[in-house]
Amino acid sequence: MFFDPNYILLVMLPTLVITGLAQAAVRNAYQKWGNIRNSRGVTGHQTAQLLMRNGSVQPVGLEVTGGQLTDHYDPTKGIVRLSQGVAMQPTVASMAVAAHELGHVQQHQQNSPLMGLRSLLIPSAQFGPSIGIMLIILGVLFNATGLATIGLLLFAGATLFTIVTLPVELDASRRAMAMLEQSGLIATEQDRDGAKAVLRAAAFTYVAAVATSILTLLYYAMLVFGRRRD
């Protein structure tokens, strides 16, 4: 099982290709638009402040965090954390990334059903893969189909989390573009094209996550149910 050529061909190689393409897309988009000043000259931190000030979202906390592209919204504490580059630089990429996080804030404040479902599935994403794979391995090794099936269901919960996350992220990007347009922060075609390019590249990472998770789930399902037929 650990050296199964089917795993290499059906999961590992496609995952490396898909993930590599997604990472390259994000890196290229951020490198390009992270070096182009937005027309309003606002940093990511200022973008978030302006969107809260104009009523696009209700005010939440803003913090600067370490790392690159570590930006996220913490709904449990009501805080948007922006990476230092995004928070401090007045680039098109910074404006787009900050607005995307405010898109998540808007989702939370408007009780988005998809975001609510995603929150419910967080435990599955945290514990499903590790416990699920362990049970699948034990079930296959000891010919315990029931145990392997339980593991498969746990892993499927994590896959469902990645599937639900994709429309949540796409919706946050849609909201981000709408807020930037309505607030007048997007003033040129360059601003618009750059913001869309950054958000589109970021979305590709979630498409890659869905694809790789589904491939892995299908492989384990083939392993479990193929073994049962044998």
pLDDT tens profile 42-66: 999 999 999 999 999 999 999 999 9
The answer on pLDDT for 226 being more than 90 is no
The answer on pLDDT for 230 being more than 80 is no
Q: Which of 63, 101, 169, 181 is catalytic?
A: 101
Cα 228 versus chain centre, distance: 35
35 beta partners: none
Angstrom distances, CA of residue 81 to CA of 1, 17, 65, 120: 41, 30, 6, 22
Q: What is the pLDDT of residues 171-185, one digit of tens each?
A: 999 999 999 999 999
- Pick from 225, 97, 113, 210: which is nearest to 161 by CA? 210
d(CA 105, CA 103): 5
- Residue 4 pLDDT grade (very low, low, confident, very high; cuts 50, 70, 90): confident
The whole-number pLDDT of residue 52 equals 97
Averaged pLDDT for residues 24-30: 97
The answer on pLDDT for 2 being more than 80 is no
The answer on pLDDT for 159 being more than 80 is yes
d(CA 94, CA 45): 8
Phi, psi of 204, rounded to the nearest 5 degrees: -60, -35
Does this model's pTM top 0.85? My answer is yes
d(CA 152, CA 224): 8
SS3 72: strand
The whole-number pLDDT of residue 18 equals 97
The answer on pLDDT for 228 being more than 60 is no
User: Hey, what are 68's tokens?
Assistant: 């690159």
Is 101 designated active site?
yes
The whole-number pLDDT of residue 227 equals 61
The separation between the first and the last C-alpha atoms of the chain, rounded to the nearest angstrom, is 15
Which residues fall within 8 angstroms of residue 142, CB to CB, at 6 or more apart? none
